[in-house]
Structure 1
Amino acid sequence: MRTKEFNEDEALEKAMQLFWLKGYNGTSMQDLLDGLGLSRSTLYRAYIDKHSLFLKALGHYQQFSSSEIKKVINEGDTAKETVKKLLEFIAEVVVQDQQHKGCFMLNSEIELSLHDKVVHDMVVNSDQDIEDVFYHVLTKGQKRGEISKAEDARAMAKFFLNTAKGIRATAKSNPDKKVFKDIIALAIKALN
């Protein structure tokens, strides 16, 4: 059995960064060859085509993003505090990005999901995962009496998912920390 000629994790990370910065359509095969430092034959042997590599890179991003969000869940004591920390984490990630790339998943949704069923399904699954995180935190808060049961937890989870996506979209053109601080403060008031 032949061993791989490259480190796949490193290649996926590099591909992810290229697609994230330039988008799917803006990233040429030559960009990928140069950025990954692979020969054309190695790239095609490993990934078949540009689309397959893109999907693997997007999956790599989704896996990393999910694990980071799950870490944040364990940091908050109360449900309100956890929701606030999740939104602050999302804002901090996009504010710190000097290239203002926004969110790779959201960028892919805007660029491709109307025409690419696989990307569409990945975006829907990613959104559902994040919504479920918020839902879990909110229902736990309702059970402990920290959050009123007057509002449906699933509807609130959708609201917070939408808020998170709005933060990620806004950061592409306005990565001002104060803007997100205000948005997060107002969103948390919805839990009162």
Structure 2
Amino acid sequence: MGRPKEFDPDVAVEQAMKVFWRQGYGATTPQHLVDALGIGKGSLYNAFGGKRQLFDLALRRYLDQQASVMRALTEDSSPVKERLRKALRLLVEADITDPERRGCLAANSAVEFGCADEAVATQVRSHFDRIESALQALVEEGVRAREIQPGRDAQALAGMLLSTVTGLQVLTRIEPSPDRLLRAIDATIDLL
């Protein structure tokens, strides 16, 4: 009979997510993970298979968390432009107030891996597709409510919003103040 696990795998994935988010995949060693998770290397490999498998779990956790935040923001009943502004501001403000300036793990992973790793690219692309779909649904709602000019291409506008927020999330890693980023959000929403 094997020994029972001495750690909670769910907590370990959460801790690993923070390490990968702070350092990136390439700069994270198995020793960094062992130290952060408070487990032995054998437990790391037995429970997760290795660094890459743990990264996949951590990235999936992050993407799920972000999707639930986006769902909550898009489902309230305030005016559409207000919801869009609030969603973009929340994403940027969460990153700019982070003392570690980790940015967005999805954007960071897209930059670090690019298309060199299809599994990561697929996960991140799918995440961005979900966000863009949610933004497109809001834009379409705004057009129906006449908050956004009729005849506008909702898919193109959603793509613009996604590109804006993704770019802003990269900038939060180096921008000392949120002012420029928040002005960009306001200008983008005003274009609608």
TM-score, normalisation: structure 1: 0.95
- Structure-2 separation of matches of 1:147 and 1:111: 36
| Unaligned residue ranges in structure 1 (runs of 5+) | none
* CA offset digits 1:126-168 (Å, max 9, x no partner): 1101101100111111112221123200000000000110110
SS at match of 2:25: helix
Counterparts of residues 41-80 of structure 1 (less than 5 Å): 41-75=42-76, 77-80=78-81
Q: After superposition, what is the alpha-carbon deviation per residue over 1:82-103, rounded to whole angstroms, capped at 9, x for unaligned?
A: 1101111111111110111111
Matched-pair identity in %: 31
- Counterpart contact for 1:100–1:175, Cα < 8 Å: no
Q: Conserved in 2, the CA contact under 8 Å of 1:90 and 1:167?
A: no
Alignment of 1:1-192 (within 5 A): 3-75=4-76, 77-191=78-192
Matches of 1:14 and 1:123, distance apart in 2: 20
Shift of 1:42: 1.1
Q: Using the TM superposition, give the Cα deviation of residue 76 of structure 1 relative to its aligned residue in structure 2, in angstroms.
A: 5.3
1: CA distance, partners of 2:114 / 2:120: 5
Give SS of 1:26's match. Answer: coil
The DSSP-based 3-state class of the residue aligned with 1:24 is: coil
Contact 1:100 1:172 (C-alpha < 8 Å) held by counterparts:
yes
The structure-2 alpha-carbon separation of the partners of 1:175 and 1:12, relative to structure 1 and needing over 3 Å to count, comes to farther
Number of aligned positions between the proteins: 191
User: In the TM superposition, what is the alpha-carbon distance from 1:185 to its structure 2 partner?
Assistant: 1.1
Change (3 A) 1:172 1:14: same
Distance in 2 between residues matched to 1:151 and 1:74, nearest whole Å: 22
C-alpha deviation, 1:114, in angstroms: 2.2
In structure 2, runs of 5+ residues without a counterpart are: none
Whether the 8 Å contact between 1:94 and 1:175 is mirrored in structure 2 is no
Q: Structure 2 vs 1, CA of residues 63 and 175 (structure 1 numbering), >3 Å: closer, same or farther?
A: farther
Q: Which runs of 4+ in 1 moved over 3 A?
A: 1-4
- Scaled by the length of structure 2, the TM-score of the pair is 0.95
1:8-28: CA deviation from partner (whole Å, max 9, x where unpaired): 221111100101111101000
Question: Would you say the 8 A contact 1:76–1:85 is kept in 2?
Answer: no
Query: Partners of 2:14 and 2:168 in 1: how far apart?
Result: 24
